[in-house]
Chains A and B, each alone.
Chain A
Amino acid sequence: MDRPNPFFRNKWSKAASLPMMLIVWVVFVCGTIWTVLFSFTNIKILPLFTPQQWMDGFVGFANYTRLFKTDRWMSCPGITKILTEDWEFKCAGALPNMVTYAVFSIVISVSLGFLLAVMMDQKIRAEGVFRTIYLYPFALSFVVTGHVWAWIMSPEYGLQHSIRQLGWESFTFDWIADRQMVMYAIVIAGIWQGTGFVMALMLAGLRGIDEDIWKAAKVDGIPAWRTYLQIVLPMMKPVLVTTFVIVTSGAVRIYDLVVATTDGGPGISSDVPSRYIYQNFSANLGQSLAASTVLLVTMAIVLIPWIRMEFGKKSQA
């Protein structure tokens, strides 16, 4: 009968986490709700807060209409010609650029990271040294990474110039100045920076696999590559999902790498959503809020399946 109120169970740990909870609620949750709500108003640079201001400034989807009419955010000229011969699925602008970056950096850095982790797992000599070397780029900020790669890839000063000086006159590597290829140049810099981290995560996953699995596979005569692909990889699903979520959220919020490498150039061909949001911040907050909401929805699409997978199972069990 004297059962303690569950509210007061672990009361000290609850008290200790209160400040953090407050910050999460006030900064993240309220901030997010405010962003979404006021993206439907004609807000300019002064922030609005009250319901009355919201009602007065309500403009419906005007900010979103303008956002998707802006070439800098997204333009898909080929798509409007659907059902004709000129039809093509090709888009330019900040949002498609982010998708390109996300897809390529996820696919390449996860597969490359996994390969490196497998190599590390072969009980090689001086593993610590290699691990440090591969993880080292991750210790550099995106700004440093971006500037270094901007110089390396610059056709005037970098790799192209050096190799031409060595005598290979026709050598061309000018992605960073090529409107069609510039996003891939940024992908290169991003992968260089991020693969080591993916490797570290994967290596931790590999080390978590029970030795007995390997022994059993050996007894059954399964070659090592098949063991990795068909037994170990499926067992590493939690690590893979975590990696995927980290790399994806990194790609969605990409800003500093682009600013340091190309600053959105040539023209605006390597613009990304965060840069668009930031640049509208002191001129047209409505655009920033609408663009942020679009990003939020994008993130939700990625995260919700993960949350269901991670936390949904427990309630079923």
Chain B
Amino acid sequence: MKTWKIAALMLSVVLPSASLATDLEVTHWWTSGGEAAAVAEFAKAFDATGNKWVDGAIAGSGDTARPIIISRILGGNPMGATQLNPGKDADELIAAGLMQDLTDLATAEDWANILRPASQLESCTVDGKVYCVPVNLHSAQWMWTNRKVYTDLGIEPPKNFDEAVAAAPALQAAGIQPFSLAQGWPVGLMVNDILVAQAGVENFVKVYKDRDLAIAGGPEFTKVFESLAAVRQFVPADKMVPQWNEAVGLVIQGKAGANIMGDWAGGEFAVANMVAGQDYDCLPGLGVTPVLNTGGDVFYFPKSADPAVTEAQLKLASTLVTKEVQVAFNLKKGSLPMRADVDLSAANDCMKKGLAILDGSDAVFPNDVQMIDRDSINQINDLFTEFMANPDMAAADAQAKFVSIIEAAPK
């Protein structure tokens, strides 16, 4: 009996290192229907390499998953690989030497030339070394409108945000919500979209990256806060819905005129069998300035002492950017692929609009997390959340607070 136990114990120690297949736990927060289908493509491709993808999905948004992921890496219980958003979230982890360096693989596979836009790989690069793999591009700068809502009232469907604001009183008189909005992060997303559309990309980057306080306190940003105050009166707190897809749903059902949401909203219109350009409009950059940010998802690989794990990590990193995997994953996810050299004939009109903007690369600008630390972003989000919910808060006060947050942000 005893020898049997010892043998079993020894076997359990020996087996994992002896076998070729390595289990790699991958954490991510892709849990909705479409997202889960997309991530299954990654798993399938990785399993095909002879390794094993152990799914570690964390329910909830990135705000829920990020603290869990970071505390696991810090706590010495790292996963094999993890999804994060590109930006400064992992900077301290990289500085502490907790992340696997992918530079050799990136050079060997020439990522710098096959992945676009360049900004995406740049935000994975710290001191000339590559630490993460970008897998897709999402853009948040979209306004979605239901054409029928406007034509029924005899109004031309809006081609941009300003027209939608101008049409708002007529919609309200007819008992239709001019804008739908969901609680939580969609508020911040809408604020950011309006900010970029009204202040312009150049000013946005100057404030967030170069910390130009004169612009943050200047007339361009005053216009932003005044636009937000205008939207605020059309979406009082009791009209907000709990989830982003419900807000998109209100537009689909014709109960609301417009919704500002990222490109993933397109999936909801597709499910409702609506056709872009006929039943609904998708307006990149809110129709004001056709620009897209370069948000998206990246994978990081926490450093492991086990060479078998490191090998599997590099294998996975390489698998994620192969042509076939990029196409299969992105078609299901509704996002844009990292590679320009793939076939996307199955993409819908909105995706093609996005791709066209992406190819004229100066219309692509960096995400806020790529320019400023998470702590300051949280404070800015708090400020905007409060501003959008509190009708008593004056635009000038909010702008003054915004300036002080930008001023205090570490360079």
Residues of chain A touching chain B, judged by Cβ–Cβ distance below 8 Å, are 44-47, 70-72, 150, 155-156, 174, 177-179, 263, 265-269, 278-284, 287
Contacts and interface: CB of A to CB of B under 8 A. Distances in A.
B63 A279 contact: yes
A266 B374 contact: no
Given A44-B92, A46-B96, A155-B238, A266 B389 contact: yes
B70 interface: yes
A71 B389 CA distance: 14
Interface in B337-363: none
25 contacts: A70-B379, A71-B382, A71-B401, A72-B382, A155-B238, A174-B238, A177-B238, A177-B240, A263-B183, A265-B237, A265-B389, A266-B237, A267-B386, A267-B387, A267-B389, A267-B390, A268-B382, A268-B385, A280-B378, A282-B66, A282-B70, A283-B375, A283-B377, A284-B378, A287-B375
A279 B70 contact: no
Contacts of A287: 375
Given A266-B183, A283-B374, 6 more contacts: A44-B92, A177-B238, A263-B184, A265-B184, A281-B71, A283-B377
Interface in B60-100: 63, 66-67, 70-71, 74, 89, 92-93, 96
Given A174-B238, A177-B237, A265-B184, A282 B382 contact: no
Interface in B20-77: 63, 66-67, 70-71, 74
Interface of B: 63, 66-67, 70-71, 74, 89, 92-93, 96, 183-184, 236-242, 373-375, 377-379, 382, 385-390, 401
Interface of B is mostly: helix
B385 A267 contact: yes
A179 B386 CA distance: 10
Contacts of B379: 70
A282 B375 CA distance: 8
Given A71-B386, A156-B241, A267-B386, A278 B67 contact: yes
B183 A268 contact: no
A278 B65 CA distance: 12
Nearest to A66: B408
Contacts of A70: 379
Nearest to A151: B242
Contacts of A155: 238
